[in-house]
Amino acid sequence: MESNGMPGAIHTTENVFERMQGKFQFEERGWMDIKGKGRMRTYLCEGFKI
């Protein structure tokens, strides 16, 4: 995940998104080829949900 991330952002997997979406806001990045994992849907965590 780190090699595909963006500076100052938290790049997460779909599993993290599903578990934390009630507490945090996310932006979908779409499907990406993740080193050592294959093709995965990923998200950027934008901060706490207000």
What does each C-alpha distance from 5 to 2, 16, 41, 42, 50 come to in angstroms?
5, 15, 13, 10, 24
What is the tens place of the pLDDT at every residue in 1-50? Answer: 777 778 888 999 999 999 998 999 999 999 999 888 899 999 999 889 87
Tokens of 9: 């952002």
Number of other CB atoms surrounding residue 48 within 10 Å: 8
Which pTM does this prediction carry?
A: 0.81
Give the span between the Cα atoms of 18 and 15, in whole angstroms.
Answer: 5
pLDDT at 45 (0 to 100): 92
Please choose, from the candidates 25, 24, 28, the residue with its C-alpha nearest in 3D space to the C-alpha of residue 41: 28
pLDDT at 17 (0 to 100): 95
